[in-house]
């Protein structure tokens, strides 16, 4: 019965010249179909409104048209979501059979042999087991890559605050629609019309691009003789530390895809500023105004991020009773509190001065996304540091980031 109903829906849409199912599995085609569906939906809704005015109720034919369009649009949106999920689904390790496990062990052994000796001194079987990317750089084994990813949130500030997702693509396509408007009352018995509740549901696309994060470490030749486990621990901790520091900087002040960097909160378009009341100074009242400039839906999940100098300054602020507004954490591992919200320190803000951004307050989980692409690589620099008895290793991680909702953040700017 359900299948017959869907066939009837398709036939009805073809009669209306809405080609919802002509785009196949093309994401752009499906998105265009959804957009055309919104337009057709508005036309039929207007038709229904005219019928209610004229006859007191809508005809069954018009109701059926609305139902069919809704069903077809839901089907198109479902297919589009499935395509995106399939394209961005991260590789899940540990699901292979014994043969794959054996192959993974061989790749791991070849990788650490490469770290110690370099490609030239490896035997043919070991060289064959190495996995390289299109540029010839050696891919880091999944086990080591996962360990680096695991340590990142422990070292980075923003990893634990923002939304993170995995991808196998060079960019993530995201869709955004305007807010839905609603209202009270029965259209059939009141003077209200559908226009009183109409939303401009125009979906827009934007992208989070995956960029290259490069790092360099130098390892002594004696350390390279350590066991695979010790070498893995050294690499994961050093690479995670370096990546975390640069990633935190990019989330805050990254210059965007045109500069081959993630988009930063302070550099993103449409993130609003709240000016301090006095020139060249920040006071407690400025923080209160900043907090309440954020909509309540975002404010309830808000956190503060500021540089160390600003944190030191704010710790001296007192209320009218002489009590400090800063609330130090009572237990280890939990953030300090300011006006009831968690506070974090990040020192890549501009130096304190008139006209400088100094505090961000916002809902980071809903406002920002970090995108990880699997497949970090490493390049061995054999001769560059040999006089120091060191071997250089260039590390490349694929990661991107961008602001999802500019309205989820407010920035305090020092008045100039």
In the chain, where the domains are located: 2-87+171-207, 97-130
Q: What does the alpha-carbon distance between residue 357 and residue 46 come to, in Å, rounded to a whole number?
A: 48
Which parts of 95-210 are beta strand (E)? 138-139, 163-167, 171-176, 204-209
pTM (predicted TM-score): 0.67
Residue 56 CB: number of other CB atoms within 10 A?
A: 9
pLDDT for position 257? 92
Percent of residues, the chain, with pLDDT higher than 70: 79
What letter would DSSP give residue 324?
B
Q: What is the mean pLDDT of residues 179-195?
A: 60
pLDDT digits (tens, 9 = 90+) for 19-48: 444 444 566 666 667 667 767 777 877 787
Q: What does the alpha-carbon distance between residue 146 and residue 130 come to, in Å, rounded to a whole number?
A: 18
pLDDT for position 263? 95
pLDDT for position 413? 96
pLDDT for position 12? 47
Q: Compute, in degrees rounded to 10, the torsion defined by CA atoms 267, 272, 278, 281.
A: -40
Q: What does the alpha-carbon distance between residue 247 and residue 12 come to, in Å, rounded to a whole number?
A: 51
pLDDT digits (tens, 9 = 90+) for 305-358: 999 999 999 999 988 888 888 888 777 778 899 999 999 999 999 999 999 999
Q: Residue 87: CB partners within 8 Å, gap ≥ 6?
A: 167, 168, 169
Q: What does the alpha-carbon distance between residue 152 and residue 233 come to, in Å, rounded to a whole number?
A: 14
Q: What does the alpha-carbon distance between residue 169 and residue 173 come to, in Å, rounded to a whole number?
A: 10
DSSP states of 196-244:
GT------EEEEEE-EEEEEEEEEETTGGGS-HHHHHHHHHHHHHHHHH
């Amino acid at each position: 019965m359900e299948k017959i109903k869907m066939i009837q829906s398709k036939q009805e849409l073809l009669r209306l010249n809405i080609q919802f199912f002509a785009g196949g599995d093309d994401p752009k085609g499906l998105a265009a179909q959804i957009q055309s569906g919104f337009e057709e939906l508005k036309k039929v809704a207007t038709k229904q409104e005219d019928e209610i005015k004229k006859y007191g109720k809508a005809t069954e034919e018009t109701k059926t048209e609305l139902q069919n369009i809704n069903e077809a649009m839901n089907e198109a949106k479902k297919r589009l979501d499935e395509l995106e999920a399939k394209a961005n689904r991260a590789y899940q390790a540990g699901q292979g059979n014994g043969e794959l496990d054996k192959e993974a062990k061989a790749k791991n052994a070849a990788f650490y042999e490469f770290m110690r000796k370099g490609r030239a001194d490896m035997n043919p079987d070991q060289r064959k087991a190495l996995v390289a990317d299109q540029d010839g750089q050696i891919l880091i084994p999944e086990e080591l890559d996962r360990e680096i990813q695991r340590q990142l949130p422990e070292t980075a500030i923003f990893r634990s605050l923002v939304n993170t997702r995995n991808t196998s693509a060079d960019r993530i396509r995201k869709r955004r629609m305007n807010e839905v408007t609603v209202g009270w009352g029965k259209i059939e018995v009141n003077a209200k019309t559908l226009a009183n509740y109409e939303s401009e549901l125009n979906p827009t696309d934007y992208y989070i691009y995956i960029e290259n994060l490069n790092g360099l470490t130098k390892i002594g030749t004696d350390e390279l003789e350590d066991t695979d486990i010790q070498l893995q621990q050294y690499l994961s901790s050093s690479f995670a530390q370096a990546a975390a520091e640069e990633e935190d900087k990019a989330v805050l002040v990254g210059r965007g895809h045109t500069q081959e960097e993630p988009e930063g909160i302070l550099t993103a378009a449409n993130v609003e500023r709240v000016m301090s009341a006095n020139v060249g100074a920040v006071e407690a009242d400025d923080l209160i105004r900043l907090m309440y400039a954020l909509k309540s839906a975002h404010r309830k999940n808000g956190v503060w991020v500021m540089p160390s100098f600003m944190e030191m300054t704010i710790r001296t602020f007192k209320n009218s009773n002489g009590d400090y507004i800063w609330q130090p954490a009572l237990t280890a591992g939990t953030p300090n509190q300011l006006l009831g919200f968690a506070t974090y320190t990040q020192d890549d803000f501009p130096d304190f001065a008139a006209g400088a951004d100094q505090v961000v307050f916002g809902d980071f989980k809903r406002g920002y996304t970090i995108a990880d692409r699997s497949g970090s690589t490493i390049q061995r620099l054999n001769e560059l540091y040999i006089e120091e008895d060191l071997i250089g290793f260039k590390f490349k991680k694929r990661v991107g980031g961008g602001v999802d909702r500019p309205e989820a953040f407010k920035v305090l700017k020092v008045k100039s």
